[in-house]
Every structure is written in C-alpha cells, then in structure tokens.
Amino acid sequence: MHRRFLLVCGMAGLASALVAAAFPTGVSCASGQETIAFVGARIIPVDGPEIDQGVLLVGNGKVLSVGPVGQAEIPANARNVDATGKVIMPGLICTHSHIGGGSGADSSNPIQPDVRVYDSINVRDSGFKRALAGGLTTLNIMPGSGHLLSGQTVYVKLRKAETIDDLMIRAGDGWIMGGMKMANGTNSMREDGGAFPGTRGKSAALVRQHYIKAREYRDKIARADGDPAKMPDRDIGLEAMLEVFQKRRVVHHHTHRHDDIMTVLRLAVENDFRVVLHHVSDGWKVADKIAAAGVPCSIIVLDSPGGKLEALDVSFKTGGILEKAGVLVGFHTDDYITDSRFFFRSAALAVRAGMTREGALRALTINGATMLDLNDRTGSLLPGKDADFIILDGDPLSVYSKVLETWVEGNRVFDRNDPADRIYAVGGYGAGHDQDPYFCCFHELMMQQLGISSGND
C-alpha cells in the first residue's frame, strides 16, 4: 500500500552516543533458564478467560503455568516479580512486515520464487527495536508486492541478534520457516508491457503458466525415481514451488479488490495451495466467499486510508464482517504502513467498528500464529509454549496504555524504563538513525516514471 507522506522519527541525524544502543547490544535480557513468577497482574492468556489477579510462571524459555493468585503453585526457587496493576498477554504477531530493509525480486521478471528475503535483512535496523517497543515478538518478514511473485518470506522471533540466523524460526528438521509472497492488482502491472503484465487477466495467466511449469518439474523428479541421469536440471525457484505444492510453504497473497480476491481463490483451488489473503480492502464485500473457501485473512486497519484506487473501499468494519462470516482473521502492520509501535490500534479500531474484543485480541496473537504454522509454539500463554509475552500498564485496547516490557522465549528484550530502549518507543533525535523506511512500490514506480530500471520494489 502507498501513502502520501511518511515521517520517520529522528531520521534527521545520528547521535554518536546512541550507537551503543543499536539492536544487538542495547537489549536488556534476563536468563531464559531462570524461573520467574509474575504475580498479581491481570492476565489475558488468549486461549482462555482473563484472570483478574493472576500468576504467570515462566522458566527455561517456556510458559510453565498460568493461574489465579492463591491457586497457582510457585516454586521456592522462583524469582517473584510484583506485577500488580499491570496487564500481561502473549506477544503480538505481525503476519506481514517489511522491517529490516529486506528486498526481494528485482525488475528482471514478474515471477521470482528463487529469491529469499532473508538474504537481504539487516537485523541491526532500528525497526526491530520499534517493533519490540510495540510488543511484537514474531514477524513474517516479506519482500515487496511489486511482482506477481516476489520471493520467499521468513518467519522470525525478535530475539537478541547478531545476524538474521539468530532470528529465524526453524522447523524440527532445521527447515527455515517462511511462506511465498505473491500479489495481484495494480502493483505488479506495468503500462509499458515487457515481461510484466499490463492487465489483471494477463497477471492471472502468467501465474497459471508458472504453476504448470512447477508441476511439470515436480513430475519429472517423480519419474526420475532417484536416477541422476533422468533428473531435470536443478532450479532453485521451482524447488521452492515444490514446497508450496507440499503445503509446507504457505502463499501469502497481497490482494485488494473483490475481483482480485476471487482470482486468488480460484488459483488456490486450481493449483491446490494453501493461501492467506493479505490486506483484502474489499474483503467485506465477499466475506461469505472467503469463508466458504476456508481461507484466512490478514488485514490491515488504516486510520488514514488512501494512496491507491483499488483500496478505495477499505473499511474499519472488515474485521468484524469477516469474523462474523467465520473467517480466521489476523492483523498486520505492513510496517511502515502502520508503525509497529501502534499495532494495538488495529485491534481497537476494529472493535469500534464491530469486531468482538476476544476476536480482535486473537487477531493480534494466536490467529497470526496459526497463519504462520506457529500456533503450537506461540500466540497464547498455554503451558509448554514459548515464553513470548508483554507487560502493559493498562488495557491493550486503550490508547493510553503503553508496553512496559517485551519478553521473547523467557528473555526480556525491551524495557521501557531503560533509556536505551525507551527512545525507540517515544522517538526523538537519533531514534531512527539507521532505519530504512519501507515505501512498498514507491521506488519501482518512481524508476518507471524516470525510465530507469530498478532492482528494488
């Protein structure tokens, strides 16, 4: 999505004294092995009823137990933290982020499944600090939407990091977890023709043809039956498409208009892939169709809509309408479209427009985890899950509430009381000194207008 103007706090200068507060070294941590009891907080576990005065027990990086004060057992060796008057809930999950300045496909072709966004992510980018200040603990970092297929996404935990490898979430067999980013609508269309489509119909045709090519590659491998002489030439892009066919890699699909949404649903049926619809500005118009297809929606809630005609009918009511229809709904920031520090506003605005409170809180947490195949690890405060949680000074849907602390896998990674962290929550000189703001397709469109080929969307 586009916007007319973006103000990045503190990008005008760099205070040398703040260099030491860069992401890898400015994180305040406690040992994930320590057993800690947070006592007296109002606890919102998401997978169960709220507890007015509760105890959250964490240790060894995991949630050990959650229960009311007086009923919860606290080990003698546990460190007690008085959380009276505070609110504790699971860490927030953004299913669609561009933090870290990662770039995907270039202008050479509209379909590039071989590109991996994690090959271009800067974990020292201060956007990660802003995300922690907003209570985010898990992200789906995407390449842009200026292509029909712009590459592989990566799912990350916001741990203390020196390199992207420290953030990656891996499956039990070591596979780097992520999806496949696809898009339709105007972003991937080019008036001057060439390899890129000029119409919506041509966009769909190119995608269909690519899926046929990928199926043929899969079938050749099957027929070879392990015989190297019969194997097709290796193609890392088509290998990634095999993971889509295996339904291990979810397609995360940018789409706005109701006709574009329906095109995605058709393509998913024709090619039997799992898909999450992203943005769905017109989702409220075809909520019953989305529900019938059993397809989740990751929506963005904008308090200042605009920027592109296909998002003209975006509505605060979309979340509630989809929820009522039976669609699994999650929220995303599309950061910098919505600053990660203001992610809670998405839920609050959706509730104001008709979504249930419970549904909106789930859309910030467990529903996003489900879309990323991470609901067995995070998204709620169920014993055995990763100790990913946040501590607030008030209700999560109040504009006056602030994130005080953010914890990932039992380690405190943001502390508002620490000046080195606080500046990323409130802004100020130097707070965004190394931030590479994401303008979606701004760069690509500008290069087109100037008649220059660009490698960044």
Q: pLDDT-derived band of residue 437, with 50, 70 and 90 as boundaries?
A: low
Instruction: Please tell me the predicted confidence (pLDDT) of residue 336.
Output: 85
Residue 133 has pLDDT above 70, yes or no: yes
Give the pLDDT band (50/70/90) at residue 103. confident
Residue 140 pLDDT grade (very low, low, confident, very high; cuts 50, 70, 90): very high
Q: Output the pLDDT for position 19.
A: 30
358 — pLDDT class (breaks 50, 70, 90)? very high
Residue 27 lies in a domain: no
Give domain status of residue 15, yes or no. no
Distances 21 to 98, 187, 222, 238, 369 between C-alpha atoms, Å: 22, 37, 52, 42, 30
Round to whole Å and give the CA distance between 407 and 413. 6
pLDDT reported for residue 264: 98
Q: What is the mean pLDDT of residues 182-208?
A: 93
| Banded pLDDT at 18 (limits 50, 70, 90) | very low
Considering the domain boundaries, does residue 8 fall inside one? no
- Residue 191 pLDDT: 83
Per-residue pLDDT reduced to its tens digit, 247-300: 999 999 999 999 999 999 999 999 999 999 999 999 999 999 999 999 999 999
Structural domains counted in the chain: 1
User: What is the arithmetic mean of pLDDT over 18-23?
Assistant: 34
Which of 53-67, 172-186, 441-455 comes out lowest in average pLDDT?
441-455
Does 447 score more than 60 pLDDT?
Answer: no
Considering the domain boundaries, does residue 311 fall inside one? Answer: yes
Q: Which two tokens stand for residue 355?
A: 């979504």
Q: Say yes or no to pLDDT of 355 above 70.
A: yes
- Residue 243 above 50 pLDDT? yes
Q: What is the pLDDT of residue 308?
A: 85
Rounded average pLDDT over 301-323? 89
What's the pLDDT at 454?
A: 40
**CATH number of the domain enclosing 49:** 3.20.20.140
Residue 211 confidence (pLDDT) above 90: yes
User: Is residue 365 predicted with pLDDT exceeding 60?
Assistant: yes
Asked if the structure places residue 106 within a domain, the reply is: yes
Per-residue pLDDT tens over the stretch 369-428: 999 999 999 999 999 999 999 999 999 999 999 999 999 999 999 999 999 999 999 987
The reported pLDDT for the residue numbered 457 is 37
Domain extent at residue 232: 36-450
Across residues 191-207, what is the average pLDDT? 92
Q: How does strand 51-59 pair with strand 92-97?
A: unpaired
Ordered DSSP codes for 292-329: HHT--EEE---SS--S-GGGTT--TTHHHHHHHHT--E
Answer whether residue 389 is part of any domain: yes
Average pLDDT, the chain: 89
pLDDT value, residue 102? 86
Output the pLDDT for position 33.
Answer: 80
- Find the mean pLDDT for residues 331-344: 94
Asked whether the beta carbons of 129 and 85 are under 8 A apart, the reply is no
* Position 175 in a domain: yes
CA distance 95 to 343: 12
Q: What is residue 229's predicted lDDT score, i.e. its pLDDT?
A: 96
What's the pLDDT at 430? 66
User: Residue 396: what pLDDT?
Assistant: 98
* Alpha-carbon distances, residue 179 vs 144, 276, 295, 373 (angstroms): 13, 10, 15, 10
Q: Check residue 446 and give its pLDDT.
A: 55
Query: How far apart are the C-alpha atoms of 101 and 120, rounded to whole Å?
Result: 7
- Any domain includes 347: yes
What pTM did the predictor assign?
Answer: 0.89
Given this model, what pLDDT does residue 442 score?
A: 54
Instruction: Give 189: exposed, middle or buried? Use CB within 10 Å, 0-12, 13-18, 19+.
Output: middle
